[in-house]
Amino acid sequence: MSDAASSFVAPPRPRFEAGTANPYLPMPATVIEVIRETHNIKTFRLVLQDEKAMREFHFEPGQVGQLSMFGVGEATFVINSPPTRKEYLQFSVMKAGEATAALHTLAPGDVVGLRAPLGNFFPYERMKGKDILFIGGGIGMAPLRTLFLFMLDNRNDYGKISLLYGARSPQDMAYSYELPEWTDRKDIDCVLTIDREAEGWGYRVGLIPDVLLGMAPAPDNSVAVTCGPPIMIKFTLQALEKLKFSSNQIFTTLERRMKCGVGICGRCNIGGKYVCVDGPVFSLAELKELPDEL
């Protein structure tokens, strides 16, 4: 095992402590901006109605929130703005069912409920001084975005930063308005890819795992952080292992349907782990200990 690999242990597990604020009580938040990212993804920028709570709101990159549409339901989303940029909290929502369809009807000025922050986070302290490779597919770019921007805001703490971001087509690429800034930056290596040729597309064409193998990033002193649809993750993990990344050097996030979000209801467990408090961030080494997850 390399030095980089052996130095990783799980980040602290935030848990609801009896006697603290009611973890089921959502905070009212106002939508200040809605961005249509793709045909089925919208981004919402929110501020807590309680200005003091907004000023004091503390979260870590990778933590999630439960967004509620009153009278409809609640669903889990990663806070994809970084903690270094606190003028609003950003969530990107892919339409999947009832709650997400209701969220897609929101307009600026509307009010939602938010229970956050929940879950663990990327162990960014232990990633300091290392080369960081981000590999995101589709909506999987959301959890990566928070850590990616956090690291850009603390650029000197990290070595080489690379981003490989892929989607089916240019129209399926979220955050398209930010991509030119990322590809132009000289202090990061940003590779964009789509599955099939498309008119006017000036970047790579190819599936993420194939493009990754072509990039051939060195595993020494490196960490890979990857998120995306299950099929992409499966082949990306295989590609990373081919490139000799050890399972302690690879991090991903798990999506398990949640209810309480605070380790009480038992809805989200995989083996002995609760995704809502032990996750959603796991190293591949941790995932390999879980029953049948990958």
Q: Give the CA distances from residue 51 to residues 81, 87, 89, 144, in Å, rounded to whole numbers and listed in that order.
A: 18, 11, 13, 28
Task: Give the shortest CB-13-to-ligand FAD separation in angstroms.
Answer: 15
Judged by phi (left if over 0) then psi (alpha if -120 to 50, else beta), residue 184 lies in alpha
List the single partner that 86 binds among ligand FES, ligand FAD, none, CB under 5 to 8 Å by kind: none
Q: How many residues bind ligand FES (CB under 6 A)?
A: 12
Q: What is the DSSP string of 110-147?
A: -EEEEEEEES----TTTTTTSEEEEEEEGGGHHHHHHH
List the single partner that 263 binds among ligand FES, ligand FAD, none, CB under 5 to 8 Å by kind: ligand FES
Return the half-sphere exposure (C-beta side, CA atoms, 13 A cut-off) of residue 134. 32
Candidates 85-93, 166-174, 188-196, 263-271; binding stretch for ligand FES (CB under 6 A): 263-271
User: Of 227, 268, 281, 290, which lies in the binding site for ligand FES, with binding defined by CB under 6 A?
Assistant: 268
Cβ-based nearer residue to ligand FES, 43 or 76: 76
Whole-number Å distance between alpha carbons of 86 and 215: 34
User: Of 276, 281, 287, 290, which lies in the binding site for ligand FES, with binding defined by CB under 6 A?
Assistant: 276
Site for ligand FAD, rule CB under 6 A: 64, 73, 75-78, 92-94, 96-100, 139, 142, 255-258, 280
Q: Does 259 bind ligand FES (CB under 6 A)?
A: yes
Question: Residue 216: phi, psi to the nearest 5?
Answer: 45, 55
Q: Residue 152: in which H helix or E strand, if any?
A: helix 141-153
Q: Which chain residues interact with ligand FES by CB under 6 A?
A: 258-261, 263-268, 274, 276
